[in-house]
Homo-oligomer: A and B are copies of this chain.
Amino acid sequence: MTFFGNAIYILPWLIIVETKLTKLFPPQLPRGFIAGGGVCGIKKDGGPDLALLYSESEAAIAASFTTNRVAAAPVKLSREVASGGRCRAVIANSGGANAATGERGDIDARRMAARAAEALGIDPALVAVASTGRIGRFLPIEKIERGIEELAAVVRRGGNGSAAAAIMTTDTRPKEIAYQFEVEGRPVRIWGMAKGAGMIYLKMRVAGPPHATMFCFLLTDLEAEAGFLRTALAAALEQSFNRITVDADTSTNDTVILLANGSSEAKVEAGTAGSAVFREALDRVTRELAWMIVADGEGAGKFVSIEVSGAASDDDARRSAAAVANSPLFKCALYGETPNWGRLLAALGYSGAELAEDRIAVWAGDLQVVRSGLLVELEPGRAEEELGRERISLKVDLGLGEGRDVYYTCDFSPEYVAINKE
């Protein structure tokens, strides 16, 4: 599935002012940032496994980590960095999560930060660390230290593509995106890269408690305070990474980091016009990266959006959409392209949301499949046609109130099990 190349998915109630944002092809880094990715030998297959992001000047940082109580060592370290509000670099590895590794894990995470700081000539307290891969194994720290030195010597303005490749695990392709917009006449950029694939069911909190399979690193040359960035990031996460699910598992290392280094000389604060356009850009970058993660979910062949409206409350709408998005049985039916709306109704029924069965309506694309809680009689093959698409848009109206929300998910295929059995 590669339909996210250019397409912009516009929700009916979320109108994006198209003209203000320009997508950059290929994605380019904002000013004052350099990046790179390389091979340090963690992965047995010799694939790229180390990425470095560096800001030429001190940047403001906002970050968010998994709520899993088994916190990876790099998550604990990066939470400290984020709480200080300032950051110069991020060092990230794939191939090992450095989670459930005890004291030695903490020491290894600090060694990664220290070596990067030394190689870049910066304060180690300003280096964030992120790790992804298998939980419970120690990192090959000497290999990583050598790799950090080599990488620090070659990072460059055009190194973003190699960085995005180096954080991949079971991802089938790198995920990277950039937009440009104007603030008071000055051009500003925002760039982001992400990885995902499995163990994706995110319950993140900005500067909240932490977990190791989803990364999103965001860089902008805007000038902004860490407090403003935190508020903007929290809102962006709510409509992006916190609205997707691949397998209802929540990882130990999920990490989102946003750096703003001010190189554009355009400053924004809460309430200004610049703030609105920046938040729109941030929302779009995070949402598109989140969709890329779902579309590249382990074994996924379909991208499915589940919009719920008419719920008694927004909370109920979220619960309903999440229950459908997480139902293994319904997702198997999506894989089989079998219209089994009963499974969708069952998921609504156990979601915990208030329901009046005879008011439920469901649409697949423009085709109504459930009316007043009953399956609509359809021409043979009509529903299968809708389910045959790579991208499926499901809409549920609970007929009770004004609550609405949306979740994004993928189908559930035998390949998922094949990928995860090892």
Q: Are A345 and B100 in contact (CB under 8 A)?
A: yes
B342 and A97 contacting across the interface, CB-CB below 8 Å: yes
Which of these, B69, B136, B375, B422, contacts A375 with CB under 8 Å? Answer: B136
- Does A416 have its Cβ within 8 Å of any Cβ on chain B? yes
Residues of B near A346 (CB, < 8 A) are 68, 70, 99, 135, 199, 211-212, 249-252
The residues in A between 189 and 219 inclusive whose CB is less than 8 angstroms from any CB of B are 198-199, 203, 211-212
Residues of B within 8 A of A267 (CB): none
Contact B250 A328 (CB under 8 A): no
A141: interface (CB < 8 Å): no
Once bound together, how far apart are the Cα atoms of A101 and B360, in whole Å? Answer: 12
Q: Which of A135, A412, A421 is most buried by chain B, counting CB atoms within 10 A of its CB?
A: A421
Interface residues on A, range: 35 or more
Does A329 interact with chain B (Cβ within 8 Å)?
yes
Q: How far is the CB of A258 from chain B (nearest CB, A)?
A: 24
A340: chain B residues within 8 A (beta carbon):
134-135
With a CB–CB cut-off of 8 A, which chain B residues contact A373?
A: 70, 100, 102
Q: Is the CB of B248 within 8 A of A328?
A: yes
Per-position 1/0 for A405-419, Cβ under 8 A of B: 000000011101110
Q: Report whether A357 and B421 are in contact in the complex, using a CB–CB cutoff of 8 Å.
A: no
Q: Does A332 contact B (CB under 8 A)?
A: yes
Residues of B within 8 A of A348 (CB): 69-70
Counting from the closest, the 7 A-B pairs by CB-CB distance are: A135-B342, A336-B421, A70-B349, A414-B414, A332-B420, A68-B349, A136-B342
